């Protein structure tokens, strides 16, 4: 058996396809991006090595700073609104309520929808003249509150965040629900006998025991917010006047509309780094909370 | 009494969210069957007065939605097959065989989980451009496979951990070599993991927009995501056919999901918790 496990030839054969895929599509491109980010390049003329100038230029510019602010705000909303909503639903549903199965299934439907479909659907919901939102507002006599939503610099960010948060509540709820179900029911029974009410059980038992799941959810929510591209690209493309810009949409415009390959690559590297570090930081924070 | 009220409040909260989840879909279905006049001037919440099935016809004929749908199925299916084959193979080596650098490789694949797809966009685009692979199915299938690989390997590893070593030892005594054990013992036992991997990969590949937008520009190879984007651009004032296209893109997946929602949910839980 030892010989079988030490079979180098077999190991190479088994690993080769995965390694080729991984190295050629992920590792080498990241190294390339890192290199491009240090050059000035429009894709046609030769690359000119300029060191960290792209990064300096980016961080001194208003646009990237604004986009980082939006990104952080989105992450904050994901953690502060999406996760609590998911947690409340998960606790309510897992507490032996009628229609448990149905709620679970339906709450998860938005996760199954393609982001493009959601984007196009919400474009129509927000449409200033024929959209659902303004239509409902005027039906209930609030036509004064009708708005151009995605065209309004002050409201566009909130308008974009709503579908983003809406889509993934079900996903986090599913993970939390599974976590709650795996808590030993005897503990909860014991608390009930001791006279604890539902709220106390949730705060003192369910949530503390759910910490590992909450950690996973927080990492998903935060890195998901940092990576988010599709919905913003579809709904606004980052506009109007960069009001809903996030780093990924900025990267996309820099590369494919302005041919600023160097600057775009610098943003790509920034996104990788911030996803990485945030995951590590969240792990650290949760470690301190877990007993 | 108090408990009854609490229960009612619970249901009210849940039902509000339930409506928020379903309502956009109802609205989509309703306006996909309306003509422009009814969409723009009628009650937005009402069912269509005259059912406009022509919307679906024009979405399919002029809008090419069926072609996009077929492309999406093809790209997604092939991605799933590639991911399953490569991840099961790699996972066996990574979790059962002994060789130098095993630990480092494992860490490398786990790190792949946090790498956003943006990182590869420009370099992969430039490579594809250079070798003339833009506007091909492969230009999507290969990157999708690579980015789904990390998750798939993690899922495989956790399933692999549940396979007792004794089975391999027994097969070895019966005269199986390493690859023999892999194909005759491990592969059949990994079947439960495959659906989990397939569901994860499906969600990723079916919905991907960024690569598909950049790498595909001809209508022949467009996947649903890009196809709908272009369709919405060309028909921006004619909502009915867009609605129909969105419905065609959406409801098959929803129906499949409703039939196997249990399996889907369990798979996603397994993937997230173990990953």
| DSSP annotation string for A205-232 | IIHHHTHHHHHHHHHHHHHHHHH--HHH
Average pLDDT (B120-130) is 92
Residue of B nearest to A19 (CA): B90
| CA–CA distance, A133 with A126 (Å, rounded to integer) | 6
Q: Does A142 touch chain B (CB under 8 A)?
A: no
Q: Nearest CA of chain A to the CA of B67: how many Å?
A: 17
Distances (CA, A) of A44 to A9, B197, B268: 44, 41, 44
Bond into A240 cis (ω within 30): yes
Q: What is the mean pLDDT of residues A182-210?
A: 86
CB A170 within 8 Å of CB A107? yes
Task: Find all residues with CB under 8 Å of A201, minimum gap 6, and list them.
Answer: A188, A191, A192
> What's the confidence (pLDDT) of residue A185?
82
As a dihedral over the C-alpha atoms of residue B36, residue B37, residue B41, residue B44, rounded to 10 degrees, the angle is -50
Computed over every residue of chain B, the mean pLDDT equals: 88
Rounded to a whole number of angstroms, the distance from the CA of A39 to the nearest CA of chain B is 14
CA distance B239 to B32: 7
Q: What is the pLDDT of residues B51-105, one digit of tens each?
A: 888 888 888 887 788 899 999 999 999 999 999 999 999 999 999 999 998 999 9
Measured in residues, chain A has a length of 291
Question: Do the Cβ atoms of A133 and A125 come closer than 8 Å?
Answer: yes
The whole-number pLDDT of residue A231 equals 93
ipTM of the complex: 0.86
Cα–Cα dist A170/A174, whole Å? 6
For A221, the token pair is: 């929510």
Q: Span A135-154, mean pLDDT?
A: 86
Dump pLDDT digits (tens) for A149-195: 898 888 999 999 999 999 999 999 998 998 898 888 888 888 888 88
Task: Flag whether pLDDT at A291 surpasses 70.
Answer: no
Instruction: Choose the mutation target among A19, A25, A226 for the interface with B, i.e. most B CBs under 10 Å.
Output: A25
**Higher-pLDDT residue of B17, B49:** B17
The mean pLDDT value for B248-275 works out to: 81
CB neighbours of B21 closer than 8 A, spacing ≥ 6?
A106, A107, A109, A110, A170
**Residue A27 per-residue DSSP state:** I
Average pLDDT, stretch B233-249? 86
Give the residue-averaged pLDDT of A2-7: 84
Count the Cβ atoms, other than its own, within 10 Å of residue A146.
16
**Rounded percentage of chain A residues whose pLDDT exceeds 70:** 99
How far is it, in rounded angstroms, from Cα B44 to Cα A99? 29
Chain A contact set for B254 (CB, 8 A):
109, 112-113
What CATH number was assigned to the domain covering residues A60-289? 1.10.3720.10
**Chain A residue nearest residue B24, CA to CA:** A121
CB proximity list for B158: less than 8 A, separation 6 or greater: B270, B274
- Within 10 angstroms of residue A291's Cβ, the number of other Cβ atoms is 4
Environment class of residue A235 by beta-carbon count within 10 Å: exposed (0-12), middle (13-18) or buried (19+)? buried
Q: How far is CA A259 from CA A35, A194, B209, in A?
A: 16, 67, 20
pLDDT band at residue B37, thresholds of 50, 70 and 90? confident
Measured between alpha carbons, how far is B146 from B136 in angstroms, rounded to an integer? 17
Residues of A in contact with B114 (CB under 8 A): 223, 275-276, 279
Q: For residue B42, is pLDDT > 80?
A: no
B62-234 adopts what CATH topology? MetI-like fold (1.10.3720)
The tokens 């422009």 sit on which residue?
B36
- For chain A, which residues make up each domain, given as ranges? 60-289
Contact B36, B241 (CB under 8 A): no
Which of the four pLDDT bands, split at 50, 70 and 90, describes residue A206? Answer: confident
B122/A124 CB distance under 8 A: no
Write down the pLDDT at residue A99: 87
Number of H helices, E strands in chain B: 15, 0
Rounded average pLDDT over B120-134: 92
Is B81 part of the contact surface with chain A (CB cutoff 8 Å)?
A: no
A149 touching B (Cβ < 8 Å): no
Distance CA B271, CA B30 (A): 36
Residues A204 and A190: their CA atoms lie apart, in Å, by: 13
């Amino acid at each position: 058996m030892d010989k079988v496990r030490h079979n180098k030839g077999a190991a190479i054969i088994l690993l080769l396809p995965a390694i080729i895929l991984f190295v050629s599509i992920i590792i080498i491109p990241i190294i390339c991006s890192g290199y491009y980010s240090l050059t000035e390049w429009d894709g046609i003329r030769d690359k000119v090595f300029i060191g960290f100038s792209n990064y300096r230029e980016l961080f001194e510019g208003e646009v990237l700073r604004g986009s980082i602010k939006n990104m952080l705000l989105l992450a904050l909303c994901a953690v502060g609104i999406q996760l609590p909503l998911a947690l409340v639903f998960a606790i309510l549903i897992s507490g032996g309520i009628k229609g448990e199965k149905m709620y679970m299934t339906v709450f998860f439907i938005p996760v199954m929808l393609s982001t493009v479909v959601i984007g196009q659907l919400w474009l129509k919901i927000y449409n200033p003249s024929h959209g659902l939102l303004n239509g409902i507002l005027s039906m209930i006599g609030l036509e004064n509150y009708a708005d151009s939503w995605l065209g309004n610099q002050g409201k566009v960010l909130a308008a974009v965040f709503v579908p983003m948060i809406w889509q993934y509540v079900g996903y986090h709820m599913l993970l939390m629900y599974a976590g709650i179900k795996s808590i030993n029911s005897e503990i909860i029974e014991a608390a009930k006998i001791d006279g604890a009410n539902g709220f106390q059980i949730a705060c003192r038992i369910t949530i503390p025991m759910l910490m590992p799941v909450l950690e996973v959810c927080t990492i998903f929510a935060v890195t998901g917010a940092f990576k988010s591209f599709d919905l913003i690209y579809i709904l606004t493309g980052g506009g109007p006047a960069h009001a809903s810009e996030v780093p990924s949409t900025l990267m996309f415009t820099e590369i494919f509309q302005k041919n600023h390959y160097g600057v775009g690559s610098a943003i790509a590297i920034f996104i990788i780094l911030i996803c990485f570090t945030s995951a590590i930081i969240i792990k650290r924070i949760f470690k301190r909370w877990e007993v | 009494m108090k408990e009854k009220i609490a229960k009612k409040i619970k249901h009210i909260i849940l039902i509000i969210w339930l409506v928020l989840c379903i309502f956009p879909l109802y609205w989509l279905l309703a306006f996909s069957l309306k003509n422009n006049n009814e969409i723009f001037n009628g009650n937005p919440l009402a069912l269509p007065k005259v059912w406009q099935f022509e919307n679906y016809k024009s979405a399919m004929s002029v809008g090419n939605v069926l072609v996009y749908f077929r492309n999406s199925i093809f790209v997604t299916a092939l991605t799933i097959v590639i991911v399953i084959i490569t991840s099961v193979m790699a996972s066996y080596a990574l979790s059962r065989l002994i060789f130098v650098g095993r630990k480092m490789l494992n860490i490398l694949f786990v790190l792949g989980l946090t790498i956003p797809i943006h990182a590869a966009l420009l370099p992969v685009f430039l490579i594809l451009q250079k070798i003339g692979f833009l506007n091909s199915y492969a230009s999507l299938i290969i990157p999708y496979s690579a980015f789904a690989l990390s998750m798939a390997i993690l899922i495989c590893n956790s399933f692999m951990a549940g396979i007792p070593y004794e089975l391999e030892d027994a097969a070895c005594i019966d005269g199986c070599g390493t690859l023999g054990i892999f194909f005759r013992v491990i592969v059949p036992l990994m079947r439960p993991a495959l659906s989990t991997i397939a569901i994860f990969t499906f969600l990723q590949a079916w919905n991907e927009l960024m690569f598909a937008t950049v790498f595909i520009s001809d209508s022949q190879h467009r996947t649903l995501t890009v196809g709908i984007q272009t369709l919405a651009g060309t028909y921006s004032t004619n909502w009915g056919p867009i609605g129909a296209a969105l419905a065609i893109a959406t409801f098959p997946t929803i129906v499949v999901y409703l039939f196997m929602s249990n399996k889907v949910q369990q798979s996603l839980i397994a993937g997230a918790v173990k990953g």
